[in-house]
Amino acid sequence: MIAVLVINSGSSSLKYQLLDPATETVLAKGLIERIGQPTGSMEHSTTGGVWRSEPPTPDHHVAFRAMTAAFDEHGPVLAEVGLTVVGHRVVHGGARFFAPTVVTPQAEHDIDELAEYAPLHNPANLAGIRAARTAFPDVPQVAVFDTAFHQTMPPEAYTYAIDAAVAERYRIRRYGFHGTSHKYVSERAAAFLGVPLEESRLIVLHLGNGASATAVRGGRSIDTSMGFTPLQGLVMGTRSGDLDPAVVFQLARFGGLDLDELDELLNKRSGLLGLTGTGDLRDVTAKAAAGDTAAQVALDVYCHRIRHYVGAYLAQLGGADAIVFTAGVGENSTIVRERSLAGLGELGIAVDPARNAAAERGERRISSDGSRTQVLVIPTNEELEIARQAVSAV
Ligand code: AMP
C-alpha cells in the first residue's frame, strides 16, 4: 500500500489528510487549532474512530509532532503505510510557479520571498514544509499553489491599468487564488456534463468564507475575480471584495486610519461581517428571514456581486456550458444560488426551484430542463486535488 499526506498549514492551524492515491479514499484526517498558543485543540479521525486532545502547540514544529504522534497512536502508522509524497498547500506562487513543484532549496527560497505578497499565509505554509521535511527526510515534499491555475490568464485579464514601470517593479498584477478548487471543480463539471474538458466553457463560483469566481475555457483559467491578493472580487465573510481604491485614500486622509488599520478593516471587518455583525452566511440568511433590514441588504449585495461576475464571464467566454456553485455557501445555500441567477431566462439560464431546494448533497444539476446554460452544484475537494497534483509531480 502507498499513501499521500496532504498538509494545509495555516497561520494558526494545521489540517491534514492521508489518502490512498490508487482508490482516492481518505485513510485519516485531522485538524490542529490554536497553534502559537501553549495548548491547542486537536481532532484526529480514521475509519476506526475520532480522537480529541489538547496537545502543546507553541509552534508549527511541535504541532506537527502532535500529528505524527496521533498517527502512531491511533493509526494508520505512517512508517507502515509507505508514505510516497507529502503535498503542501501554498497560497502564493507569484508568477514563478504555475505547476506543482518538488520543494528544493531554491523553491523554498522563492516561496519565502513571495511571503511579501501573502504575509499571513506563505510563512505558515513554509513552516509546514520544514516540519514535514524534519519528520520525513526521505519523502519528497511537493508545493501546490493556490495561484498556479490562474497563470494561464492572458495579459488583458491580469494587467492592472497603472503605471507599467511601477507595476513591473513591485510585481503588481492579478494573480488569482482558490486555483486548486477551481481546477478540481471545473474538471468534475466537464465530466458531469459529458463535455470534453478542452471544449468546455465554465463559470465556477467558489463561495466559501473566501469567495471567488473564475471563467474557465478548455480547462484553463482565463479570468478570475480575486486579484493581487484575495481581497478583490466577491463579497466574502469578512473581506470587502471590490472597492474603489480612493476609499482607502479617503479613510487615511479624513478617517485617520493607518495602513495596518485599513488592512484590518478591509480584510477582517468588512464583507458580511461588516454589513451585519456576522460573517457566517447561515446567520445572515436567518436574520434576513426574521426581518433584519441590514441582513437583507447584505444578502442582496452578496448576490448582486455574484451576478455581476456571472455576466462579465458570460461575455468573456462568449457563453457557457455551465455555471457551477461550490464550497460552503455554494454547496449549501439555496437562497444564494436562486437569487444570484434569478431573472436570467433571456440569457438562457434558469434555475429549477425544486432541484435547487432538494436536500441532495453530491454533484447535481439544479437548472431546469430548458436552461441552455446548465447550473450545477459540485462539492469541492481541495485535499484530493493536492494529493493528485503531488503524485503527478514526483
Ligand atoms: P468554506 O470556507 O467553504 O468552509 O465555507 C464557509 C461558509 O459556508 C460560511 O460562511 C458558512 O456560513 C457557509 N455555509 C456552511 N454551511 C451552510 C449552509 N448550510 N447554508 C448556508 N451557508 C453555509
Domain of residue 48, residue span: 3-145
Residue 118, pLDDT above cutoff 90: no
pLDDT at residue 188 in the model = 98
**List of E strands, the chain:** 3-9, 13-20, 25-33, 37-39, 41-46, 49-53, 56-57, 83-90, 101-102, 141-145, 201-207, 211-217, 220-224, 322-326, 364-365, 374-377
Q: Is residue 207 part of a domain?
A: yes
Q: Is 260 exposed, middle or buried (0-12, 13-18, 19+ CB in 10 A)?
A: exposed
Q: Is residue 165 part of a domain?
A: no
130 and 8 co-located in one domain: yes
Residue 291, pLDDT above cutoff 80: yes
Q: Is residue 259 part of a domain?
A: yes
d(CA 1, CA 389): 19
pLDDT at residue 88 in the model = 98
Taking residue 293's Cβ as centre, other Cβ atoms within 10 Å add up to 9
Query: Quick one: cell of 318?
Result: 462568449
Q: What are phi and psi of 141, to 5 degrees?
A: -105, 130
Sign of the alpha-carbon torsion through 23, 26, 28, 34 = positive
Q: Are 47 and 56 in contact (CB under 8 A)?
A: no
Q: Are 288 and 295 in contact (CB under 8 A)?
A: yes
Residue 79, pLDDT above cutoff 90: no
d(CA 125, CA 101): 14
| Ligand 1: nearest atom to the Cα of 281 | 12
220 and 363 co-located in one domain: yes
pLDDT at residue 268 in the model = 93
Residue 1, pLDDT above cutoff 80: no
233 and 359 co-located in one domain: yes
CA of 250 to the centre of ligand 1 (A): 33
Q: Which amino acid is located at 293 in the chain? A: T
d(CA 208, CA 271): 12
208 and 336 co-located in one domain: yes
List the one residue out of 189, 289, 174, 186 whose CA is nearest residue 229: 174
Residue whose CB lies within 8 A of the most ligand 1 atoms, among 329, 331, 335, 361, for a mutation test: 329
Taking only the tens place, the pLDDT of each residue in 199-219 is 999 999 999 999 999 999 999
The number of residues making up the chain comes to 394
Taking only the tens place, the pLDDT of each residue in 218-244 is 999 999 999 999 999 999 999 999 999
Q: Which amino acid is located at 256 in the chain? A: G
Taking only the tens place, the pLDDT of each residue in 15-28 is 999 999 999 999 99
CA of 290 to the centre of ligand 1 (A): 19
223 and 335 co-located in one domain: yes
Q: Is residue 358 part of a domain?
A: yes
H-helix segments, the chain: 60-74, 78-81, 105-113, 122-135, 155-158, 164-170, 179-193, 246-255, 259-268, 271-276, 281-289, 293-317, 327-332, 334-340, 353-357, 382-393
Helix axes 259-268, 246-255, angle to 10 degrees: 130
Mean pLDDT of the residues in the chain: 96
Report the Cα–Cα distance between both ends of the chain, in Å, rounded. Answer: 17
353 and 223 co-located in one domain: yes
Mean per-residue pLDDT for 246-273? 96
Q: What are phi and psi of 162, to 5 degrees?
A: -120, 175
Q: Is residue 388 part of a domain?
A: no
Distances (CA, A) of 276 to 247, 285, 286, 306, 328: 20, 11, 12, 18, 19
Taking residue 278's Cβ as centre, other Cβ atoms within 10 Å add up to 16
Q: What is the edge-to-edge ordering of all strands in the sheet holding 364-365?
A: 220-224, 211-217, 201-207, 322-326, 374-377, 364-365
| Ligand 1: nearest atom to the Cα of 327 | 3
Does the Cβ of 208 fall within 6 Å of ligand 1? yes
CA of 84 to the centre of ligand 1 (A): 33
Q: What is the domain count for the chain?
A: 2
List the one residue out of 181, 210, 96, 91 whose CA is nearest residue 385: 181
218 and 129 co-located in one domain: no
What is the share, in percent, of the chain residues with pLDDT greater than 70?
100
Query: Quick one: cell of 195?
Result: 463535455
Residue nearest to atom 16 of ligand 1 (CA): 328
Q: Is residue 341 part of a domain?
A: yes
d(CA 161, CA 91): 25
Residue nearest to atom 10 of ligand 1 (CA): 280
Helix axes 60-74, 122-135, angle to 10 degrees: 50
Does the Cβ of 280 fall within 6 Å of ligand 1? yes
211 and 114 co-located in one domain: no
254 and 350 co-located in one domain: yes
What is the share, in percent, of the chain residues with pLDDT greater than 90?
96
Q: Are 207 and 326 in contact (CB under 8 A)?
A: yes
pLDDT at residue 2 in the model = 87
305 and 226 co-located in one domain: yes
245 and 338 co-located in one domain: yes
Q: Is residue 70 part of a domain?
A: yes
Confidence of residue 176 (pLDDT cuts 50, 70, 90): very high
The CATH number of the domain holding residue 139 is 3.30.420.40
CA of 218 to the centre of ligand 1 (A): 29
Does the Cβ of 233 fall within 6 Å of ligand 1? no
Q: Is residue 158 part of a domain?
A: no
Does the Cβ of 109 fall within 6 Å of ligand 1? no
360 and 218 co-located in one domain: yes
CA of 241 to the centre of ligand 1 (A): 17
Does the Cβ of 392 fall within 6 Å of ligand 1? no
Q: Which residues participate in catalysis according to the annotation? A: 146
Does the Cβ of 264 fall within 6 Å of ligand 1? no
Query: What's the pTM value of the predicted model, to 2 decimals?
Result: 0.96
| Secondary element (H or E) of residue 275 | helix 271-276
